[in-house]
Copies of this chain bind each other. A is one copy, B any other.
Amino acid sequence: MTASNTVETDREIDDAVRAVARRAQIAARTLATATRAVKDAALHAAADALEANADEIVAANAEDMARGEANGLSSGLLDRLQLSTERIAAIAAALREVAGLPDPVGEIVRGSTLQNGLRLKQVRVPMGVVGMIYEARPNVTVDAAGLALKSGNAVILRGGAAALESNRVIVRVLGDALEAQQLPRDLVQTVDEYGRAGGVALMRARGLVDVLVPRGGASLIRTVVEESVVPVIETGTGNVHIYVDASADLDKALPIVLNAKTQRVGVCNAVESLLVHEDVAEEFLPRVFTALVEKNVRLHADDRSRNAVPAGASIAAATEEDWETEYLDYDLAVKTVATLDEAIEHIRTYSSGHTEAILTESLAASERFVAEVDAAVVAVNASTRFTDGGEFGLGAELGISTQKLHARGPMGLAELTTTKWIVNGEGQVRP
């Protein structure tokens, strides 16, 4: 039953989504105490089922693609939406990789025996029910389900409307695979059929949904953060800076800036602003500008930086908007700064708290930058593109948290768990 078939009021949708969440809570209980072997078997079964049903998934995806093209979706969005047998194989392979990761559940985080003999331990346990609100990317449907299952959680998905048919079939295939493994299919549910109101109902389901993770563009994330009563983990926006210090080794700096800007542009850990110390601007800027322009990067530079290069006039003048923008494209804002302090102050003003890098050979400069810049990841003499769960050795990631509560930086399996204190005694009372 889809929202287009029946007219449902917001109240009805709210009740329906709460019923979905209650079923998820009950399903989650069976998984909370499941062994790693059971969870890994389910992940392998899900991967196999996706490949076995690839034709049906691709056919459903073709409907979404046709609708998307008719609705004039951009080529970038259509590319993220599109599935093929090869892409489904890659998605299944990612599920099998998650099966190979260690189980976070049961890890003892802290523990001690108190003076009165009480044995105390803080143990990692599943959150319970995880909600995901994301855009029209069917691979995220599977990634989120896989990470949630491995960490012992049920997941409720609200994907972009453009991927409705793809997600519907994927969720059904995953549910069938779970049932074949004697696990409840309610572990992976979608509220896509309720449209926008389904997402809103998810945001209101405090007490039923333990955490909500929005993943997508800045406006999606802002909406969820502002409207949700369920605790949210904010992900994604990366207005990333690289600061080239006076003492930087420019032969190292050049490939790092190129890599951070052009290795992949549409991602949150790509650099968006380059800050260059005035002592090296005249030497570094002509080199880096030439190399960037060769890679088709459009430059938006302040006057000092434009004047530092002979062809300065052909470079766009940076505006306030440039400092604020996460381009996610072949664009780079450039500013010449007089001091390390000016660089840190600029970053404080415009950073989204994702990843910030300094390129320097000065120990003092690197230590000040690391201590004073407030971001999930601070890098010294390395590309900002390393901010990634896989690169960090955490395994797959659900997103990159830019908030300070609970998770900061790449969110792996551990970030989908909470803890429980267990107290064992033999009759102790408090004096």
Interface residues of A (CB under 8 A from B): 29, 32-33, 112, 114, 118, 120, 122, 125, 127-128, 206, 210-211, 225-226, 229, 231-233, 249, 252, 255-256, 258-260, 263, 366, 370-372, 374-383, 385-387, 391-393, 403-406, 408-409, 418-430
Whole-angstrom CA separation of A420 from B369 in the bound complex: 13
Given that A29-B372, A376-B420, A404-B418 are contacting pairs, would A428 and B386 also be in contact in the complex, using a CB cutoff of 8 Å?
yes
- Is B428 touching A383 in the complex (CB atoms < 8 A)? yes
Whole-angstrom CA separation of A371 from B206 in the bound complex: 23
- Is B426 touching A231 in the complex (CB atoms < 8 A)? no
Contacts beyond the supplied A211-B404, A255-B427, A408-B421: 18 A-B pairs with Cβ under 8 Å: A118-B386, A122-B409, A225-B229, A231-B231, A231-B403, A258-B429, A259-B429, A260-B429, A377-B423, A380-B425, A382-B424, A382-B429, A383-B429, A387-B423, A405-B406, A406-B406, A408-B418, A409-B421
Chain B residue with Cβ nearest A228: B229
- Is B419 touching A408 in the complex (CB atoms < 8 A)? yes
- Chain B residue numbers with a CB within 8 Å of A385 are 429-430
Q: How many copies of this chain are found per oligomer?
A: 2
Could you list some 10 contacts between A and B, CB below 8 A?
Answer: A32-B372, A120-B392, A125-B374, A226-B229, A376-B421, A382-B425, A383-B430, A385-B430, A387-B421, A392-B421
- Chain B residue numbers with a CB within 8 Å of A374 are 32, 125, 128, 420
Chain B residue with Cβ nearest A426: B381
Given that A231-B405, A404-B418, A405-B231 are contacting pairs, would A391 and B114 also be in contact in the complex, using a CB cutoff of 8 Å?
yes
Nearest first, the 6 A-B pairs at minimum CB distance are: A382-B425, A259-B429, A252-B427, A404-B418, A406-B406, A385-B430
Whole-angstrom CA separation of A323 from B371 in the bound complex: 50
